[in-house]
Amino acid sequence: MTDRVRPRKSWGQNFLVDPNIQRKILDAAQIAPGEWVVEIGPGRGVLTHGLLSRGARVIAIEIDPILAAAFDPPPQGLQVIQADAMRYPFETIEGCYKVVANLPYNISTPLLFRLLALRASIPLMVLMLQKEVAARLLATGGADYGALSVLVQCWADVEKVCSVSPGCFRPRPNVDSTVIRIVPQTVSRIGMTNPSHFARVVKGAFAHRRKRLTNSLTDADFRKEDVVAAVTRLRWDETRRAETFSLLEFAQLAEALPVDL
């Protein structure tokens, strides 16, 4: 793999060059010989060759045609697909596969939700994300805790693997990064019965962080009388804000609010 390809800012290309971080990512992925791994954005192949060396069979999805072509001919066990990961039909991949990726930061959140929707096929993801996004995924309260935290944690276990400084990349990004390990669950951890309604409640609750929960949900087009009735039925303090609610409490709130509003 050539190291002379000029990085493109429009695609968020920052190539990992630190072998210690590479090792930590590979260790977190717990590769068994013969396992399938989908790598999104292989870049110059640092993680790709590490995955292959541990016995993985790799499907590498690379948007950059120059970088994709640089793998030609691909080594044994590697399939390179030149495609945009945001449009690639991951659901067409047969069987189960892990996901390992240094995600472009500008698409990390929507791509993460696409992958979580396929949790029956993806038992594990090891992702490098912008530090602030990872903090939100890991948060259980406080300023970083928000809709992203709740909507991911209700379907997956999330843990931090390591921090990554800008000096671990070429070129150096302007932000710090974090590697996280995500273990999706096929059944919601909080027993929700209507995922789309639950998501609407959570997003509405966090839409205005400084407002009380009742006011935030009213602004999100829930009927105020329904919100007040639900909070009263659950015997909660009406002055609470969204960041004080646990995953289970959000599930209880969603169950208490009418679906058809």
pLDDT above 70 (res 84): yes
Domain range summary for the chain, segments of one domain joined by +: 9-184, 195-256
Q: How confident is the model at residue 4 (pLDDT cuts 50, 70, 90)?
A: low
| Mean pLDDT taken over the chain | 93
pLDDT above 90 (res 193): no
pLDDT in tens, 37-68: 999 999 999 999 999 999 999 999 999 999 99
pLDDT above 80 (res 9): no
pLDDT in tens, 247-256: 999 999 999 9
State residue 3's pLDDT score: 53
Does domain 9-184 fall under CATH 3.40.50.150? My reply is yes
Higher local confidence (pLDDT), 12 or 138: 138
Q: How confident is the model at residue 242 (pLDDT cuts 50, 70, 90)?
A: very high
pLDDT above 60 (res 12): no
pLDDT above 70 (res 170): yes
pLDDT above 80 (res 261): no
Specify the fold of 195-256.
Helicase, Ruva Protein; domain 3 (1.10.8)
DSSP letters spanning the chain? --S-PPP-GGGT--EE--HHHHHHHHHHHT--TT-EEEEE--TTSHHHHHHHHTT-EEEEEES-HHHHHTTPSPPTTEEEEES-TTTS-GGGS-S--EEEEE--GGGHHHHHHHHHTTTTT-S-EEEEEEHHHHHHHH-SSSTT-SHHHHHHHTTEEEEEEEEE-GGGEESPPSS-EEEEEEEE-SS-TT--S-HHHHHHHHHHHHTTTTS-HHHHHHHTT--HHHHHHHHHHTT--TT--GGG--HHHHHHHHHHS-S--
pLDDT in tens, 124-159: 999 999 999 999 999 999 999 999 999 999 999 999
State residue 62's pLDDT score: 95
Mean pLDDT of all residues in 31-42: 96
The answer to whether 37 and 31 are in contact (CB under 8 A) is yes
* DSSP bridge partners of 15: 170
pTM of the model: 0.91
Rg (CA), the chain: 21
Lowest mean pLDDT among 3-7, 36-40, 76-80, 145-149: 3-7
State residue 109's pLDDT score: 92
The dihedrals phi and psi of 235, each to the nearest 5 degrees, come to 60, 45
Alpha carbon separation from 94 to 52, 120, 194 (Å, rounded) = 20, 12, 27
